[in-house]
Amino acid sequence: MDIRAQVSSVFHLDKCIGCHTCSIACKNLWTDRRGNEYMWWNNVETKPGTGYPTKWEDQEKYNGGWELVGTQLRLKQGGKAGTIGKIFHNPDLPTIDDYYEPFTYKYEDLTNAPAAKDQPTARPVSMISGEPMKIEAGPNWDDDLSGSNVYAANDPGVIQLTEEEQQQLFAIEKMVMFHLPRICNHCMNAACVASCPSGAIYKRGEDGIVLINQDKCRGWRMCVSACPYKKTYYGWSSGKSEKCILCFPRQEAGEAPACFHSCVGRIRYLGVLLYDADKIEATAMKSDGELAAAQREMILDPFDPQVIAAAREGGLADQVIEAAQNSPVYKFVKQWGIALPLHPEFRTLPMLFYVPPLLPLLSVENNGTQKISDDFFTTLEQARLPLMYLAGLFAGGNQEEIKAVYRRLIAVRIQRRAASVGDLPEAELQNARELSGLDDAALDAIYRMTSLTRIKERIVIPPMLREQAIEAGMDPEEYKQGMGFGSRQAPKRRW
């Protein structure tokens, strides 16, 4: 057993209002430089939709992630020698046109224009070339289902539904959507790490944060195509790839990552998970439908004395084990089993989990009066989104996983209704509870965690123990450069 700690997260999708505050917080902090304008380390997509970059989930197109070749796990974009052979032109690399060309406006024209009959306008100009341009796309072009007959209709998850399901999904009275905030998953079996010819990308042993050593990156851009989530970005000005760093400098100072801290809906939870690193490969080779469960299996109980002993032996500090015991992520993923990884079938074992959206109730027009649907609470049968669609997103196509989560979420709603209003028959509550497989205390705990907790309970940052990292007498500046982002010069092209 090789026990490691991983700083992991849970995003509760029913709570996300799609305000993009997280994206802006991240942008202002990390990616407001030339060449990084298009990088959204954190972005919020509307589902159904094609996401960012367009159709990123379609690995037949993008060739990201891993695939099983016989009994071997291989990068879908090719083996090691093939990767080096493709270094002069990566055949799987998307271009900026699959994201969007960053633009600004010539605002000065508004004030400098000479007097004339027409209103002066600020023309859009490219932030790459400075030339006037036609804006074709943006970071959220299909936000809130805009252009849904192009974008939502071509969501790779929607395409695989039956014609009937698709029609229902887009019937105007039943139109449905939810928001999917995405950051780097800091995967256990990261494809970006595996694809980097320079060996510049690495996982930090202590906390599992995946980083790109900017001094080692040579701009071979294999990580961009290898990451199935398209969460590594090529800096076209600096010639370096960059990605979400889970705000490790903030975490080392005890602060929540910027996107977590700024989250208006408080949908984000952060905490430590303990897992057995020896099982990474075997787990990643499970069949599509088993992957979500197998990954849950890898996560260890931080209260188990055997696990604690093994963790100590592996060098984990007591404070980290304690943080793992207080981890809200452990509760969501393991204890309550209501959070699932995004697209586990990419086989990178992502360590960011999502509580699938149960979605609000559906109101129906009835003789001129608004009436809430017959069943007060959503039932599995009446799920707003096809379960197949959700299973495609969060369970490698395994609908049982989604059903299990939904039963628990429904049970929480019913239990709260019973507790706060008290108008439900005891049998219904009992039935829901049994179906969920959780007891009253757990259902109550889920309710508390999702609606009442303060930041210290939602975001449990383990002590990063940097004071132990630097040996006495070692130059901290030098050490910093060797490890992290640590640029002491402006990160832009100089030569």
Partner 1 sequence: METSGWRAEFCRLTLTLAFLALILPGTAAMAATGNDARGEQLFTGSRAMTNGGSPCIACHALAGLGTAGRASYGPDLSELYADYEAEGVAAVLESLAFPSMEAIYANRPLTETERLDLTAFFARTAETQTLPTTSLAGLILLGVVIVFALVGLSGLRRFKGARRPLVEQARKERGVIQ
Partner 2 sequence: MADMILFGVFPYVALALAIGVGIYRYGFDRYSWSSQSSQFLESKALFWGSIPWHYAILLILIAHFLAFLVPSSWGALLGSPLRLVFLEITGIALGLTTLIALAILIFRRIGNPRISAVTSKVDWLLFASLLLQVATGVYIAISLRWGGAWYVHTVSPWLWSLVKLNPQIDYLANLPGIVQLHAVNAFFLVAIFPFSRLVHVVSVPLGYLGRPYQVVIWYRQRRNDY
Dist CA 21 CA 28 (whole Å): 11
Task: Select the binding partner of residue 493 from partner 2, partner 1, none (C-beta < 5 to 8 A, by kind).
Answer: partner 2
Q: What angle do CA 31, 250, 449 make, to 5 degrees?
A: 105
Which listed residue (17, 84, 110, 150) binds partner 1 by CB under 8 A? 150
Smallest separation (angstroms) from partner 2 to the CB of 340 = 23
Positions 102 through 141 that interact with partner 1 (CB under 8 A) = 136-137
Which listed residue (240, 286, 331, 343) binds partner 2 by CB under 8 A? 240
Smallest separation (angstroms) from partner 1 to the CB of 92 = 5
Q: What are phi and psi of 284, to 5 degrees?
A: -65, -10
Contact 45, 51 (CB under 8 A): yes
Q: Which stretch binds partner 1 (CB under 8 A): 150-158, 166-174, 245-253, 305-313?
A: 150-158
Residue 312 within binding range of partner 2, rule CB under 8 A: yes
Q: Which is nearer to partner 1, 57 or 206 (CB)?
A: 57
Which listed residue (125, 126, 138, 154) binds partner 1 by CB under 8 A? 154
Contact 480, 470 (CB under 8 A): no
Dist CA 81 CA 143 (whole Å): 40
Q: Which is nearer to partner 1, 49 or 337 (CB)?
A: 49
Residue 463, class by beta-carbon neighbours within 10 Å (0-12 exposed, 13-18 middle, 19+ buried)?
middle
Task: Select the binding partner of residue 154 from partner 1, partner 2, none (C-beta < 5 to 8 A, by kind).
Answer: partner 1
Residue 361 within binding range of partner 1, rule CB under 8 A: no
Q: How many residues sit in the footprint of partner 2 (CB under 8 A)?
A: 66
Q: Which stretch binds partner 1 (CB under 8 A): 11-19, 94-102, 248-256, 300-308?
A: 94-102
Name the token pair of 219.
């701009």
Residue 39 within binding range of partner 2, rule CB under 8 A: no
What distance lies between CA 227 and its chain's CA centroid?
13
Q: Which is nearer to partner 2, 227 or 355 (CB)?
A: 227
Distances (CA, A) of 357 to 11, 389, 411, 479: 10, 12, 14, 43
Which listed residue (129, 149, 367, 369) binds partner 1 by CB under 8 A? 149
Q: For 162, which DSSP code? A: -
Q: Which is nearer to partner 2, 234 or 332 (CB)?
A: 234
Residue 413, class by beta-carbon neighbours within 10 Å (0-12 exposed, 13-18 middle, 19+ buried)?
middle
Smallest separation (angstroms) from partner 2 to the CB of 243 = 14
Smallest separation (angstroms) from partner 2 to the CB of 97 = 9
Which listed residue (198, 325, 326, 373) binds partner 2 by CB under 8 A? 198
Unique residue bearing structure tokens 């801290």: 261
Smallest separation (angstroms) from partner 2 to the CB of 289 = 24
* DSSP one-letter string for 13-79: GGG-----HHHHHHHHHH--STT-TT--SSEEEEESS-TTTTTTT-HHHH--SEEEETTEEEETT--
Contact 231, 259 (CB under 8 A): no
Dist CA 20 CA 22 (whole Å): 5
**Residue 252: helix, strand or coil by DSSP?**
helix
Give residue 305's identity as a one-letter amino acid code. P
Residue 91 within binding range of partner 1, rule CB under 8 A: yes
Which listed residue (17, 69, 87, 159) binds partner 2 by CB under 8 A? 87
Contact 348, 59 (CB under 8 A): no
Question: What is the contact mask toward partner 2 in residues 313 to 352, using x (rule: CB under 8 A)?
Answer: xxx-xx----------------------------------
Name the token pair of 387.
């379960």
Q: Which stretch binds partner 2 (CB under 8 A): 81-89, 382-390, 401-409, 422-430?
A: 81-89
Contact 1, 278 (CB under 8 A): yes
Which listed residue (117, 134, 454, 494) binds partner 2 by CB under 8 A? 494
Contact 299, 333 (CB under 8 A): yes
Site residues for partner 2 per CB under 8 A: 75, 80-81, 83-84, 87-91, 93, 95-96, 101, 126, 128-131, 189-190, 193-194, 196-199, 201-206, 214-221, 224, 234, 236-240, 280, 312-315, 317-318, 465-466, 468-469, 483, 487, 489, 491, 493-495
Site residues for partner 1 per CB under 8 A: 50, 53-55, 58, 61-63, 89, 91-95, 97-99, 136-137, 147, 149-151, 154, 225
